Amino acid sequence: MALNSKRKAAAFVGIAAMSLVTAACGSGSDSGDGSDGTAADTKDYSKWCDLKSELTGKSVSIYTSIVTPEDASHKASYKAFEDCTGVTIKYEGDKDFEKNLPQRAQSGNLPDVAFIPQPGLLQTMVDTGKAIPATETVGKEVDQYFGESWRKYGSVDGTLYAAPLGANVKSYVWYSPKAFADKGYKVPTTWDELMTLTAKIAADDPAAKPWCAGFGSGTATGWPGTDWVEDVLLRTAGADTYDQWVAHKIPFNDAKVADALSKVGAILKDAKYTNGGFGAPSTIASTTFQDGGQPILKGKCYMHRQASFYASNWPEGTKVAEDGDVWAFYLPSVDTSTKPVLGGGEFVTTFRDAPEVKAFAAFLASPDWANAKAKATTGGGWVSANKGLDPNNLVSPIDQQSAKILADPAAVFRFDGSDMMPSAVGAGTFWSEMTNWIKGQDDKTTLDNIEKSWPTN
């Protein structure tokens, strides 16, 4: 027993030190600053097929958060490039992509290409010194097919690093066209109409609630709440104020943000209006975002604000169309004169300075790829902001509507703000405080706590 116990004591020492070891396990690479040049490569990569003699036999590795089953259409869409250049594309999907990519940069294990879904993470990866600025070819493609605002989201300190890949529209309210038709409700076109409709539904149908929502998303719990605030702020305060808020040029707890949050609270925190199918408003916190809109199908709830990608969460056999079981209307602005759109997307970031990588990046930014991807996505649920994308190549009606909204010259597109803020806020307190808020914490404490957590350096 004595010897065994001593051995155990030694094991305890080891176990206790584990926590310290793990904290330091990310270190170890001291490979310096990496690339220092910010000048773009001026070589023309736009005719990648002509570069076959140079590229054939090479390979390009992709690392992304897009996993099965969505990865199949991605792999299929690269075929044209692989066939005409002889390059092999190696695809690796990882659900913990956002956490692992910075670690891989520090351990010297970066992929050639990463699809980064957040401008904030792009900034971090540029800060590693390992990201390579976009080529002139990609720059021209971004200007021609995506426009200025997307260029900004793919840039760090004025240098373009990454072209957009896919996109999604977040300013959607899902509803049942049949339920609306039965009750004689019309799709609202202004915020006031939306609130009037909300009150009317609450009065008409005591067995259901006008809204349902779910903030639950594992470690990312709270993000649907951040989308609500961003979407409303974009409408009540305008795009310029929104940009200042995201960049922390105005404090997080500015009066305009407080106003937007109280407007969100007027819907989400009112026990008469939420949470259809789940109970009191506080249940929004623990309801998963995937479950959040499902009560619409059971007639327990009328409206659910969620992005275009929610289309894939409806059960098999649900018809997603204007005359189907569910459909989505554009979350109305304050009045019809403005049309702000909140959305997201991925950015193609490169980490290896090689012609095959650059040619592939040029291919992904082109309309050739966008249309190939649209055709390969037979189940729907994908859209791009690429203006060269022909909406007719998209399969599902909701994707077509999203593509039209993204291409609409009147629409003012803004990227999801929490994705652009420092991770301590965007993946930290903004999520957790919105969760606390829906569980009953007041507006002021919520905004003050987030403001307090904004990193000073």
Q: Which of 40, 46, 82, 91 binds another protein (CB under 8 A)?
A: 91
Cβ distance to another protein smaller for residue 106 or 189:
106
Considering the rule CB under 8 A, would residue 280 count as an interface residue with another protein? yes
Segment 407 to 436, residues that bind another protein, using CB under 8 A:
422-424, 427-429, 431-433, 435-436
Segment 43 to 82, residues that bind another protein, using CB under 8 A:
61
Least spacing, CB of residue 457 vs another protein, in Å: 5
Considering the rule CB under 8 A, would residue 327 count as an interface residue with another protein? no
Least spacing, CB of residue 206 vs another protein, in Å: 12
Considering the rule CB under 8 A, would residue 317 count as an interface residue with another protein? no
Q: Which of 43, 47, 99, 319 binds another protein (CB under 8 A)?
A: 99
Q: Pattern 178-217, binding to another protein, x per CB under 8 A?
A: ----------------------------------------
Considering the rule CB under 8 A, would residue 90 count as an interface residue with another protein? yes
Three-class SS of the chain: CHHHHHHHHHHHHHHHHHHHHHHHCCCCCCCCCCCCCCCCCCCCCCCHHHHHHHHCCCEEEEEECCCCCCHHHHHHHCHHHHHHHCCEEEEEECCCHHHHHHHHHHCCCCCCEEEECCHHHHHHHHHCCCCECCCHHHHHHHHHHCCHHHHHHCEECCEECCEEEEEEECCEEEECHHHHHHHCCCCCCCHHHHHHHHHHHHHHCCCCEEECCCCECHHHCCHHHHHHHHHHHHHHCHHHHHHHHHCCCCCCCCHHHHHHHHHHHHHHCCCCCCCCCCCCHHHHCCCECCCCCHHHCCCCEEEEECCHHHHHHCCCCCCECCCCCEEEEECCCCCCCCCEEEEEEEEEEECCCCHHHHHHHHHHCCHHHHHHHHHHCCCCCCECCCCCCCHHHCCCHHHHHHHHHHHCCCCEEEECHHHCCCHHHHHHHHHHHHHHHHCCCCHHHHHHHHHHHCCCC
Considering the rule CB under 8 A, would residue 103 count as an interface residue with another protein? yes
Q: Which of 8, 42, 184, 409 binds another protein (CB under 8 A)?
A: 8
Considering the rule CB under 8 A, would residue 379 count as an interface residue with another protein? no
Considering the rule CB under 8 A, would residue 279 count as an interface residue with another protein? yes
Q: Which of 149, 286, 312, 313 binds another protein (CB under 8 A)?
A: 286
Least spacing, CB of residue 59 vs another protein, in Å: 8
From its phi and psi, is residue 15 left (phi > 0), alpha (psi between -120 and 50) or beta?
A: alpha
Least spacing, CB of residue 248 vs another protein, in Å: 16
Cβ distance to another protein smaller for residue 46 or 453:
453
Least spacing, CB of residue 165 vs another protein, in Å: 19
Considering the rule CB under 8 A, would residue 27 count as an interface residue with another protein? yes
Least spacing, CB of residue 22 vs another protein, in Å: 5
How much is the CA Rg of the chain, to the nearest whole Å? 24
Considering the rule CB under 8 A, would residue 39 count as an interface residue with another protein? no
Q: Which of 58, 82, 84, 106 binds another protein (CB under 8 A)?
A: 106
Number of residues that bind another protein (CB under 8 A): 78
Segment 120 to 159, residues that bind another protein, using CB under 8 A:
124, 126-129
Considering the rule CB under 8 A, would residue 222 count as an interface residue with another protein? yes
